[in-house]
Structure 1
Amino acid sequence: MKILVVVASKHHATEEIGDVIVEELRAAGHGARRVAPAEVRSFEGVGAVVLGSAVYMTQWMEPMRDLVARRAEELRHLPVWAFSVGLAGVPGGEVQEPARAAAVVRQVDPLGHVTFKGRLDPAVLGLRERSVTRLGSAPEGDYREWDTIRAWARGVAAELDEHVTRTEGLAHTG
Protein backbone atom coordinates (compact mmCIF):
# COMPACT_ATOMS: atom_id res chain seq x y z
CA MET A 1 0.00 0.00 0.00
CA LYS A 2 1.19 3.50 -0.80
CA ILE A 3 1.64 5.56 2.36
CA LEU A 4 2.49 9.23 2.29
CA VAL A 5 4.39 10.54 5.31
CA VAL A 6 3.89 14.31 5.23
CA VAL A 7 6.28 16.19 7.52
CA ALA A 8 6.58 19.88 8.42
CA SER A 9 10.04 20.52 9.83
CA LYS A 10 12.12 23.63 10.26
CA HIS A 11 15.51 22.37 11.41
CA HIS A 12 15.36 18.76 10.11
CA ALA A 13 14.75 16.99 13.46
CA THR A 14 11.13 16.20 12.55
CA GLU A 15 12.15 15.20 9.01
CA GLU A 16 14.57 12.71 10.52
CA ILE A 17 11.73 11.25 12.58
CA GLY A 18 9.66 11.04 9.38
CA ASP A 19 12.48 9.16 7.67
CA VAL A 20 12.59 6.59 10.48
CA ILE A 21 8.82 6.14 10.21
CA VAL A 22 9.19 5.59 6.44
CA GLU A 23 11.92 2.99 7.09
CA GLU A 24 9.66 1.07 9.48
CA LEU A 25 6.66 1.21 7.14
CA ARG A 26 8.81 -0.08 4.27
CA ALA A 27 10.22 -2.85 6.48
CA ALA A 28 6.59 -3.90 7.11
CA GLY A 29 6.05 -4.20 3.34
CA HIS A 30 4.40 -0.87 2.56
CA GLY A 31 5.43 1.61 -0.11
CA ALA A 32 6.12 4.76 1.88
CA ARG A 33 7.78 8.08 1.17
CA ARG A 34 8.27 11.33 3.01
CA VAL A 35 7.22 14.65 1.52
CA ALA A 36 6.82 18.23 2.73
CA PRO A 37 3.29 19.68 2.98
CA ALA A 38 3.96 22.01 0.02
CA GLU A 39 4.62 18.98 -2.22
CA VAL A 40 1.12 17.52 -1.71
CA ARG A 41 -1.21 18.29 -4.60
CA SER A 42 -3.76 15.56 -3.82
CA PHE A 43 -4.03 12.23 -2.04
CA GLU A 44 -5.24 10.38 -5.13
CA GLY A 45 -3.70 6.92 -5.26
CA VAL A 46 -2.57 7.12 -1.64
CA GLY A 47 -3.82 4.37 0.67
CA ALA A 48 -2.90 5.97 4.00
CA VAL A 49 -1.29 9.11 5.39
CA VAL A 50 0.95 9.93 8.33
CA LEU A 51 1.04 13.63 9.19
CA GLY A 52 3.81 14.99 11.38
CA SER A 53 4.81 18.46 12.42
CA ALA A 54 7.30 20.20 14.61
CA VAL A 55 5.53 22.20 17.30
CA TYR A 56 6.26 25.86 17.87
CA MET A 57 4.35 27.93 20.41
CA THR A 58 2.09 24.90 21.08
CA GLN A 59 0.93 24.55 17.48
CA TRP A 60 1.83 22.75 14.27
CA MET A 61 3.82 24.64 11.69
CA GLU A 62 1.94 26.84 9.23
CA PRO A 63 2.60 24.63 6.15
CA MET A 64 0.95 21.67 7.90
CA ARG A 65 -1.94 23.74 9.24
CA ASP A 66 -2.51 25.03 5.69
CA LEU A 67 -2.40 21.53 4.19
CA VAL A 68 -4.94 20.24 6.71
CA ALA A 69 -7.21 23.23 6.10
CA ARG A 70 -7.10 22.63 2.32
CA ARG A 71 -7.28 18.83 2.35
CA ALA A 72 -9.22 17.90 5.51
CA GLU A 73 -12.13 16.41 3.55
CA GLU A 74 -9.81 14.13 1.54
CA LEU A 75 -7.92 13.15 4.67
CA ARG A 76 -11.10 12.17 6.52
CA HIS A 77 -11.66 9.46 3.89
CA LEU A 78 -8.24 7.87 4.43
CA PRO A 79 -6.61 6.04 7.29
CA VAL A 80 -4.55 8.83 8.94
CA TRP A 81 -2.10 8.84 11.81
CA ALA A 82 -0.46 11.96 13.20
CA PHE A 83 2.54 12.88 15.29
CA SER A 84 3.79 16.08 16.86
CA VAL A 85 7.39 16.82 17.85
CA GLY A 86 8.26 19.25 20.60
CA LEU A 87 10.16 20.03 23.76
CA ALA A 88 7.50 21.42 26.12
CA GLY A 89 7.63 19.45 29.34
CA VAL A 90 10.85 17.60 28.51
CA PRO A 91 12.72 18.82 31.61
CA GLY A 92 9.98 17.20 33.72
CA GLY A 93 10.45 13.92 31.89
CA GLU A 94 7.43 13.80 29.59
CA VAL A 95 6.70 15.89 26.54
CA GLN A 96 3.40 17.74 26.74
CA GLU A 97 0.62 17.43 24.22
CA PRO A 98 0.65 20.62 22.09
CA ALA A 99 -2.55 22.39 23.11
CA ARG A 100 -3.16 24.42 19.97
CA ALA A 101 -2.23 21.56 17.63
CA ALA A 102 -5.14 19.46 18.89
CA ALA A 103 -7.73 21.41 16.90
CA VAL A 104 -5.82 20.82 13.66
CA VAL A 105 -5.38 17.12 14.43
CA ARG A 106 -9.10 16.71 15.18
CA GLN A 107 -9.96 18.05 11.70
CA VAL A 108 -8.63 14.84 10.13
CA ASP A 109 -9.91 12.44 12.82
CA PRO A 110 -6.72 10.33 12.91
CA LEU A 111 -6.66 6.71 14.00
CA GLY A 112 -3.84 7.71 16.31
CA HIS A 113 -1.84 10.72 17.45
CA VAL A 114 1.34 10.82 19.49
CA THR A 115 3.75 13.51 20.63
CA PHE A 116 7.46 12.71 20.44
CA LYS A 117 10.28 14.51 22.18
CA GLY A 118 12.34 16.67 19.84
CA ARG A 119 15.75 18.24 19.48
CA LEU A 120 17.02 21.74 20.12
CA ASP A 121 20.40 22.53 18.61
CA PRO A 122 21.26 26.22 19.13
CA ALA A 123 23.86 26.01 16.36
CA VAL A 124 21.11 25.79 13.70
CA LEU A 125 18.94 28.57 15.12
CA GLY A 126 18.77 32.15 13.98
CA LEU A 127 19.29 35.03 16.40
CA ARG A 128 15.57 35.52 17.05
CA GLU A 129 15.03 31.80 17.64
CA ARG A 130 17.96 31.61 20.06
CA SER A 131 16.53 34.56 21.99
CA VAL A 132 13.07 32.99 22.19
CA THR A 133 14.44 29.62 23.32
CA ARG A 134 16.54 31.30 26.03
CA LEU A 135 13.57 33.36 27.25
CA GLY A 136 11.41 30.25 27.33
CA SER A 137 14.13 28.17 29.01
CA ALA A 138 13.82 25.55 26.27
CA PRO A 139 16.11 22.60 26.99
CA GLU A 140 19.03 22.19 24.59
CA GLY A 141 19.83 18.71 23.38
CA ASP A 142 18.48 15.78 21.42
CA TYR A 143 15.66 14.11 23.34
CA ARG A 144 14.29 11.99 20.50
CA GLU A 145 13.57 8.44 21.61
CA TRP A 146 14.25 6.35 18.53
CA ASP A 147 12.99 3.06 19.98
CA THR A 148 9.68 4.72 20.87
CA ILE A 149 9.40 6.26 17.40
CA ARG A 150 10.18 2.94 15.68
CA ALA A 151 7.68 1.08 17.88
CA TRP A 152 4.96 3.61 17.07
CA ALA A 153 5.65 3.29 13.32
CA ARG A 154 5.49 -0.52 13.56
CA GLY A 155 2.17 -0.09 15.37
CA VAL A 156 0.89 2.09 12.53
CA ALA A 157 1.90 -0.61 10.03
CA ALA A 158 0.10 -3.30 12.07
CA GLU A 159 -3.04 -1.15 12.41
CA LEU A 160 -2.95 -0.47 8.69
CA ASP A 161 -2.70 -4.19 7.93
CA GLU A 162 -5.72 -4.81 10.21
CA HIS A 163 -7.62 -1.97 8.53
CA VAL A 164 -6.92 -3.42 5.07
CA THR A 165 -8.00 -6.90 6.19
CA ARG A 166 -11.26 -5.53 7.64
CA THR A 167 -11.94 -3.48 4.51
CA GLU A 168 -11.29 -6.43 2.22
CA GLY A 169 -13.54 -8.61 4.41
CA LEU A 170 -16.36 -6.09 4.16
CA ALA A 171 -15.92 -5.87 0.38
CA HIS A 172 -16.30 -9.67 0.04
CA THR A 173 -19.43 -9.80 2.22
CA GLY A 174 -21.09 -6.78 0.60
Structure 2
Amino acid sequence: MRILVAAASRHGSTAEIASHIATVLRGTLPSDAVVDVAAAAEVTDVTSYDALVLGSAVYMGRWLEEARSAAERITSNPPRSVWLFSSGPIGDPLKPTEAPAEVSDIVTSVNARDHRVFAGHLDRHRLGLAEKAMVMALRVADGDFRDWSEIDAWADQIASELRQPVAGKPSGT
Protein backbone atom coordinates (compact mmCIF):
# COMPACT_ATOMS: atom_id res chain seq x y z
CA MET A 1 0.00 0.00 0.00
CA ARG A 2 1.30 3.46 -0.96
CA ILE A 3 0.03 6.68 0.58
CA LEU A 4 0.97 10.24 -0.29
CA VAL A 5 0.56 13.01 2.28
CA ALA A 6 0.91 16.45 0.68
CA ALA A 7 0.27 19.99 1.82
CA ALA A 8 0.53 23.59 0.73
CA SER A 9 2.06 25.62 3.54
CA ARG A 10 3.09 29.25 3.52
CA HIS A 11 5.02 29.40 6.81
CA GLY A 12 5.54 25.71 7.63
CA SER A 13 2.75 25.03 10.12
CA THR A 14 0.56 23.09 7.68
CA ALA A 15 3.59 21.16 6.40
CA GLU A 16 4.25 20.15 10.02
CA ILE A 17 0.70 18.81 10.26
CA ALA A 18 1.21 16.80 7.06
CA SER A 19 4.50 15.37 8.36
CA HIS A 20 2.83 14.49 11.64
CA ILE A 21 -0.02 12.69 9.85
CA ALA A 22 2.54 10.74 7.82
CA THR A 23 4.39 9.75 10.99
CA VAL A 24 1.17 8.48 12.59
CA LEU A 25 0.27 6.52 9.45
CA ARG A 26 3.74 4.93 9.33
CA GLY A 27 3.36 3.89 12.96
CA THR A 28 -0.12 2.42 12.64
CA LEU A 29 -0.25 0.85 9.17
CA PRO A 30 1.36 -2.51 8.33
CA SER A 31 5.14 -2.39 7.98
CA ASP A 32 4.99 -2.85 4.20
CA ALA A 33 3.00 0.39 3.76
CA VAL A 34 4.92 3.24 2.13
CA VAL A 35 4.00 6.76 3.23
CA ASP A 36 5.53 9.59 1.22
CA VAL A 37 5.38 13.29 2.06
CA ALA A 38 5.49 16.07 -0.53
CA ALA A 39 4.66 19.69 -1.07
CA ALA A 40 1.31 20.12 -2.83
CA ALA A 41 3.07 21.88 -5.71
CA GLU A 42 4.90 18.60 -6.43
CA VAL A 43 1.70 16.54 -6.70
CA THR A 44 1.19 15.67 -10.34
CA ASP A 45 0.59 11.99 -11.07
CA VAL A 46 -0.86 10.05 -8.15
CA THR A 47 -1.74 6.88 -10.04
CA SER A 48 0.94 4.92 -8.19
CA TYR A 49 -0.71 5.72 -4.83
CA ASP A 50 -3.57 3.90 -3.16
CA ALA A 51 -4.44 6.93 -1.04
CA LEU A 52 -3.82 10.65 -0.80
CA VAL A 53 -4.07 13.01 2.14
CA LEU A 54 -4.01 16.58 0.81
CA GLY A 55 -4.04 19.67 2.95
CA SER A 56 -3.67 23.40 2.71
CA ALA A 57 -3.16 26.42 4.86
CA VAL A 58 -6.14 28.74 4.58
CA TYR A 59 -5.56 32.42 3.92
CA MET A 60 -8.32 34.94 3.33
CA GLY A 61 -10.79 32.06 3.51
CA ARG A 62 -9.23 30.03 0.69
CA TRP A 63 -6.85 27.16 0.17
CA LEU A 64 -3.46 28.14 -1.19
CA GLU A 65 -3.13 28.03 -4.98
CA GLU A 66 -0.67 25.10 -4.83
CA ALA A 67 -3.25 22.89 -3.09
CA ARG A 68 -6.13 23.97 -5.32
CA SER A 69 -3.98 23.21 -8.37
CA ALA A 70 -2.93 19.82 -6.98
CA ALA A 71 -6.57 18.90 -6.42
CA GLU A 72 -7.42 20.03 -9.94
CA ARG A 73 -4.58 17.98 -11.43
CA ILE A 74 -5.81 14.77 -9.80
CA THR A 75 -9.53 15.31 -10.45
CA SER A 76 -9.55 13.16 -13.57
CA ASN A 77 -7.81 10.22 -11.89
CA PRO A 78 -7.79 10.46 -8.09
CA PRO A 79 -6.49 7.60 -5.94
CA ARG A 80 -9.00 5.14 -4.53
CA SER A 81 -9.05 7.01 -1.21
CA VAL A 82 -8.61 10.74 -0.63
CA TRP A 83 -8.76 12.76 2.56
CA LEU A 84 -8.49 16.55 2.77
CA PHE A 85 -7.54 18.90 5.59
CA SER A 86 -7.38 22.64 6.09
CA SER A 87 -5.26 24.49 8.60
CA GLY A 88 -5.91 28.02 9.62
CA PRO A 89 -8.31 29.05 12.35
CA ILE A 90 -6.41 30.76 15.15
CA GLY A 91 -7.15 32.30 18.54
CA ASP A 92 -9.32 31.44 21.50
CA PRO A 93 -12.05 31.12 20.41
CA LEU A 94 -10.86 30.04 16.99
CA LYS A 95 -11.39 32.51 14.15
CA PRO A 96 -12.60 32.42 11.46
CA THR A 97 -15.39 29.92 12.00
CA GLU A 98 -16.44 29.52 8.34
CA ALA A 99 -15.30 26.61 6.23
CA PRO A 100 -12.77 27.55 3.55
CA ALA A 101 -14.30 28.66 0.26
CA GLU A 102 -14.34 26.09 -2.55
CA VAL A 103 -13.46 23.15 -0.29
CA SER A 104 -16.86 21.52 -0.73
CA ASP A 105 -16.27 21.64 -4.49
CA ILE A 106 -12.81 20.08 -4.04
CA VAL A 107 -14.26 17.36 -1.78
CA THR A 108 -16.72 16.50 -4.54
CA SER A 109 -14.24 16.70 -7.43
CA VAL A 110 -11.73 14.29 -5.84
CA ASN A 111 -14.41 12.16 -4.14
CA ALA A 112 -12.81 12.78 -0.74
CA ARG A 113 -13.84 10.57 2.14
CA ASP A 114 -13.49 13.40 4.65
CA HIS A 115 -12.37 16.99 5.12
CA ARG A 116 -11.17 18.31 8.47
CA VAL A 117 -10.31 21.80 9.61
CA PHE A 118 -7.47 22.01 12.11
CA ALA A 119 -6.44 25.06 14.07
CA GLY A 120 -3.26 26.76 12.96
CA HIS A 121 -0.16 28.41 14.36
CA LEU A 122 0.43 32.16 14.45
CA ASP A 123 3.81 33.85 14.70
CA ARG A 124 3.46 37.49 13.60
CA HIS A 125 7.21 37.73 12.99
CA ARG A 126 6.85 35.38 10.03
CA LEU A 127 3.95 37.22 8.39
CA GLY A 128 3.87 39.67 5.52
CA LEU A 129 2.22 43.06 5.79
CA ALA A 130 -1.19 41.97 4.43
CA GLU A 131 -1.21 38.92 6.71
CA LYS A 132 -0.39 41.09 9.73
CA ALA A 133 -3.28 43.41 8.87
CA MET A 134 -5.67 40.46 8.66
CA VAL A 135 -4.50 39.12 12.03
CA MET A 136 -4.88 42.55 13.60
CA ALA A 137 -8.45 42.75 12.27
CA LEU A 138 -9.21 39.37 13.86
CA ARG A 139 -7.62 40.53 17.16
CA VAL A 140 -5.82 37.24 17.69
CA ALA A 141 -2.78 36.66 19.89
CA ASP A 142 0.26 34.72 18.70
CA GLY A 143 0.33 31.04 19.57
CA ASP A 144 0.22 27.45 18.44
CA PHE A 145 -3.44 26.50 18.39
CA ARG A 146 -2.99 23.13 16.72
CA ASP A 147 -4.59 20.26 18.64
CA TRP A 148 -2.17 17.39 18.07
CA SER A 149 -4.44 14.85 19.78
CA GLU A 150 -7.23 15.77 17.32
CA ILE A 151 -4.79 15.40 14.42
CA ASP A 152 -3.59 12.05 15.81
CA ALA A 153 -7.17 10.80 16.12
CA TRP A 154 -7.92 11.75 12.51
CA ALA A 155 -4.73 10.08 11.24
CA ASP A 156 -5.65 6.96 13.25
CA GLN A 157 -9.10 7.01 11.63
CA ILE A 158 -7.50 7.22 8.17
CA ALA A 159 -5.21 4.29 9.03
CA SER A 160 -8.20 2.28 10.24
CA GLU A 161 -10.08 2.92 6.99
CA LEU A 162 -7.01 2.02 4.93
CA ARG A 163 -6.71 -1.32 6.73
CA GLN A 164 -10.26 -2.27 5.65
CA PRO A 165 -10.45 -4.62 2.67
CA VAL A 166 -11.35 -3.00 -0.65
CA ALA A 167 -14.80 -3.99 -1.91
CA GLY A 168 -14.47 -6.79 -4.42
CA LYS A 169 -10.92 -7.67 -3.39
CA PRO A 170 -10.03 -10.40 -0.93
CA SER A 171 -8.14 -9.32 2.18
CA GLY A 172 -4.37 -9.20 1.77
CA THR A 173 -4.35 -8.39 -1.95
Give the structure-1-normalised TM-score.
0.86
Q: Secondary structure at the match of 1:150?
A: helix
Q: Write the distance in 2 (CA, Å) between the matches of 1:158 and 1:105.
A: 20
Q: Secondary structure at the match of 1:91?
A: coil
Return the offset for 1:93: 5.2
Cα 1:139–1:110 change in 2 (3 A) is farther
Amino acid at match of 1:31: V
Count of paired positions: 166
Matched, 1:147 2:149: yes
Q: Write the distance in 2 (CA, Å) between the matches of 1:121 and 1:39.
A: 26
Gaps of 5+ in 2: none
Partner of 1:16: 16
Matched, 1:133 2:132: no
Q: Secondary structure at the match of 2:97?
A: coil
Q: Write the distance in 1 (CA, Å) between the matches of 2:52 and 2:36.
A: 10
Query: Percent identity between the aligned chains?
Result: 35
The superposition leaves residues 132-164 of structure 1 with CA deviations (integer Å, 9 ceiling, x where unpaired) of 2212334421100111101110110001111xx
Gaps of 5+ in 1: none
Contact 1:51 1:82 in 2 (8 A): yes
Q: Write the distance in 1 (CA, Å) between the matches of 2:156 and 2:145.
A: 20
The superposition leaves residues 39-80 of structure 1 with CA deviations (integer Å, 9 ceiling, x where unpaired) of 1220121110001111111111111111112221211x5200
Partner of 2:5: 5
Alignment of 1:50-65 (within 5 A): 50-65=53-68
Return the offset for 1:131: 1.9
Give the structure-2-normalised TM-score.
0.87
Partner of 2:92: 91
Contact 2:22 2:36 in 1 (8 A): yes
Q: Write the distance in 2 (CA, Å) between the matches of 1:107 and 1:27.
A: 30
Partner of 2:37: 34
The superposition leaves residues 59-116 of structure 1 with CA deviations (integer Å, 9 ceiling, x where unpaired) of 11111111112221211x520011111116x433587352413222322121111111
Q: Write the distance in 1 (CA, Å) between the matches of 2:95 and 2:113.
A: 22
Q: Secondary structure at the match of 2:45?
A: coil
